[in-house]
Structure 1
Amino acid sequence: MPQSDMSPERARLLELSRERGVSLSSLSEMIGRNSAYLQQFIKRGTPRKLEEGDRGKLAQFFGVDQNELSGTMVKGNSYNAAPSSTESGFVHVPRIDISASAGPGALPDDEAPFDTFRFSQRWLEEQGLSGANLSVISVEGDSMEPLLNDGDEILVDRTPRAFRDGVHVVRLGETLMVKRVASAGAGRLALLSQNLAYPPVSVAVEDVEIIGRVVWKGGRI
């Protein structure tokens, strides 16, 4: 089906996938569907509309309002009112209104994007992050100082990857934290603070969920 003959939501999804440089099959697998799902949606019109959950996952990945993928775009949406995500050479990464505690812990509130950060597509490629599942959240507390300060914003790579030691956002119980995570042997992980006033915490692998790896930070001087 020529792009000019597609419905607006199909054309928009195809446009976004090309801009981000990620295949439709990869996007299909990301939302938990078979690899041909989005190809069939765009080229054959099956299904007629994406389910709300699928639209939400895709919208978060691309940093756009999910109405862009439903054919009912609403003017004046809040977080996507910044520079257009169609701007050549740039990717708009969603800012999520939650904090990962660098102290004793913080509970996540609303995980809906409220804004975006614009990153160079070339820079993302140089960092091995082209097509990655990225989001930006803030840091709360002082346990990761001087590496990460209270109020810093961090770019989190949430793409499923083999674990390696490094700075990660993790969920322990109902608490979201940013820590340096290291293998501790015998099925355990060490959650390490940069600030030596905070002692290491040892946890069983099955008790902690690794949300994503911290790959960039930004903050005020």
Structure 2
Amino acid sequence: MKETQQSAGASLTGPRARLLELAQARGVSLAALSELLGRNPSYLQQFIRKGSPRKLEEQDRATLARFLGVGEDTLRDVKDNSYDVPPVSRPEGLGWVEVPRLDLGAAAGAGRVPGGEGAFDTFRFSRRWLEEQGLARADLSAIRVEGDSMEPLLNDGDEILVDRSPRAFRDGIHVVRLGDTLMVKRVASAGPGRIALLSQNLAYPPVEVAADEVAIIGRVVWKGGRV
């Protein structure tokens, strides 16, 4: 078994190889080190063999370094502090999806809902990324959040992706239309035939309405905004 571990470790490089070598030299298993971090026993095995997570968290790295008697830099990838990004391979057929970008204020007028006629721009998303997020077949629109009622989850000016695909209702963050007003709220069941429109900002009280008074436009599935 020891020969097999050494052979497998020979193909590793960087902090993964160093961590494996240190663990073997001190006779401690990766499972035991994972438990030292408060993680599941396979955590470091997956980090070393499968590259997941991509890098160790700062606290985990510090804990391992202290236990193994080495400096933290020993377990740090030289690229961890660099903004250099390796070239991205672009396999044939990767493709992009153009998602219409809508203005939340413009979409709030009477009879206006997110749709093609309200688009003034587009966001381009990798088709592969959408597949990874389970959104490959989603009917997506992008809109801008206005106001502070959903802070700190959604901030004024954030852009959100809304999946308008028909599906059974479930509690979550949705874009809804109440009368002539389009809004972003956490929507929850409030009993038979009733739903609650909840704000993240506690300065805004919950609003409970009959389910047939509200049109659920779509579920919020992603957000982006300035730092």
* TM-score category, normalised to shorter length: 0.5 to 0.7
Q: Does residue 107 of the first structure (1) align with residue 109 of the second (2)? A: yes
Other-structure match for 2:154: 148
Q: Does residue 136 of the first structure (1) align with residue 142 of the second (2)? A: yes
Q: Distance in 2 between matches of 1:124 and 1:212?
A: 17
Q: Distance in 1 between matches of 2:223 and 2:121?
A: 17
**Greater strand share, 1 or 2?**
1
- SS of the equivalent of 1:118 reads strand
Alignment partner of 1:176 out of 173, 179, 182 = 182
Other-structure match for 1:220: 226
Percent identity for Structure 1 against Structure 2: 76
The answer to whether the 8 Å contact 1:156/1:214 transfers is: yes
Higher relative contact order (CA 8 A, sep 6+): 1
Normalised by the length of structure 1, the TM-score is: 0.56
Compare CA radii of gyration and give the structure with the larger one: 2
Q: Which moved more, 1:154-163 or 1:122-131?
A: 122-131
Q: Distance in 1 between matches of 2:159 and 2:95?
A: 22
Report the RMSD for the aligned CA atoms in angstroms: 2.0
Q: Does residue 157 of the first structure (1) align with residue 159 of the second (2)? A: no
- SS of the equivalent of 1:140 reads coil
The answer to whether the 8 Å contact 2:161/2:221 transfers is: yes
Normalised by the length of structure 2, the TM-score is: 0.54
Cα-to-partner distance string for 1:181-206 (whole Å, 9 max, x where unaligned) = 00111210000000001110001000
> What code does the residue aligned with 1:202 have?
E
Other-structure match for 2:18: none
Q: Distance in 2 between matches of 1:186 and 1:114?
A: 39
Q: Distance in 1 between matches of 2:120 and 2:94?
A: 22
The answer to whether the 8 Å contact 2:94/2:126 transfers is: no
